[in-house]
Amino acid sequence: MDWKPHADRLAAEVTPPVSRWRDAVASTPRHAFVPRWWEPAGGGTWALRDGPADESAWLRAAYSDTSLVTRVGPLHADRASPDDRPGGVPTSSSTMPGLVVRMLRHGLLYDGADLGLIGTGTGASTALAARRLGDKRVTAMDVDPYLTATATDRLASLGMSSQVVTCDVTGPLPGDFDRVVSMVALPNLASVTAALRPGGRLVTTLARMNVIVTADKDADGCARGVVEWDRAGFMSTRTGADYPPGTDDLFTAVRDLEGEQVMRGRYPVLNVAEAWDVRAMLELAAPGVETHYEERGGQRTAWLVHADGSWARASATWIDPPTVHQGGPRRLWTVLERIRHRLNAEGGLPIYGSRVHITPDGVCHFTRGKWSASYG
């Protein structure tokens, strides 16, 4: 298979001409790490795609700047049959190469640095990092033993021997590092901060927040940095074969429920998950809140639910003011509208560009001007 021209084109797309990452992308055969993957098939199900069965489609997919889902629920694409139609959410993928490069560049890597890379996935991101730093400087980590074993084999087939470790990164990491870059969203930063050497740098996103945090570890054990003027969406960490049962039952229970409070909303219905700065601020105001959105025939409906029993549903035609139903101990839509009012009044929200102070217990403390908030 003549994959090199496709890799060259991808490298030109995701890196500047003078970037040290250009050769890494151009020399990495991404298709070797993603022989099979899942694509949406409608109705919340997924269809299997087999690369060797259609080499032109394989090359198009592997050398596009897109994420390729390789695991849905507990089912790996490698282990699936053509008739499988799993439902559920993705649990592993080959991350879009441009995002991998951006995260690694935020790490300010240097020759001789030891890198801890969280979220092995297919191993393609490990290959990129190893091209830059050398095999022996990269330790990749994932909770899934099949993924770590397969990534090890695929790296070895290319003559690469980075260490790939099976571990739960919400606990202690296997070693200490000059740089830790996470390709999964973390709920708490205690373990990764502890694994940094003094002066080491952390790059990560946070669960249910599409922010990129960069922070450097000081002698007092704390890490200090910023929320970058950049953003990324990664899967959250998991500790088992699949994510624990989510809030589907809560959504079902309140889908058409009459609210304890019914009111007219101030702002049009919003798909909160796609409004990343609003979503981040909502997580800080109501940690653990989950969102859902549907649009049918111009009718927009959004739901917010929380494990404490709080819920909200807002529905309207297009941009008309919505009818809002709320119940439970907190009024979640009211919390959301306060955030949106601040956005309209100030022209922005304070989370992006804020300062970050990560204490040894893994809690992120954000500040920007007079605003402050904590996470984790």
Write down the pLDDT at residue 245: 67
pLDDT at 247: 65
User: Nearest-CA neighbor of 289 among 373, 170, 376, 208?
Assistant: 208
> Which pLDDT value is given to residue 74?
92
Tokens found for residue 189: 């930063």
357 pairs with which residues across the strands?
A: 224, 365
Burial zone of 74 (CB within 10 Å; 0-12 exposed, 13-18 middle, 19+ buried): middle
- Low-confidence stretches of the chain (pLDDT < 70) are 245-247
Residue 252's pLDDT is what?
Answer: 85
Judge whether 214 and 203 are in contact, CB under 8 Å.
Answer: yes
Looking at residue 239, its pLDDT comes to 77
| Domains of the chain and CATH, by start | 4-231 (3.40.50.150), 248-346 (3.30.160)
Residue 369: both structure tokens together: 């001007």
The per-residue pLDDT for range 312-340, each reduced to its tens digit, is: 999 999 999 999 999 999 999 999 999 99
Instruction: Evaluate whether 207 touches 237 at the Cβ level (below 8 Å).
Output: yes
Q: What is the pLDDT of residue 372?
A: 98
Q: pLDDT tens digits for 215-245? A: 999 999 999 999 999 999 998 888 777 777 6
Q: Can you give the pLDDT at residue 246?
A: 66
pLDDT value for 308: 93
Residue 250 is predicted with a pLDDT of 80
Q: Full-prediction pTM beyond 0.85?
A: yes
